[in-house]
Structure 1
């Protein structure tokens, strides 16, 4: 299982309004599967740390 952090700037286009902001998410890969977890408050970092402790080394 691997985790990688990503931040993208979204918004600021004509169809999205004039405000731009950053979105942070983690991509979790396990075998051929991939999922994204998006940041909501400060819980994303805590969730990833907890999952890492549960899975341990491969």
Structure 2
């Protein structure tokens, strides 16, 4: 089973997460805008290639 370590950093322009494997090597990087609504995160692999985008839903009605 693979294990990952997530480290979060806040910068003036947004949020940044580094995801490392169990050897301490960078596996993925997640970048998101701090002020953007809805929040949008971009996931890239260790080579900087975009893997996916994640959009956080603001709210919804049942």
Indicate the TM-score class for this superposition, using the shorter chain for normalisation.
0.3 to 0.5
Q: Which has the higher contact order (CA 8 A, sep 6+)?
A: 1
Largest Rg, 1 or 2 = 1
TM-score, normalised to structure 1's length? 0.35
Q: Which has the higher helix share?
A: 1
When you count strand as a share of all residues, which structure comes out higher?
Answer: 2
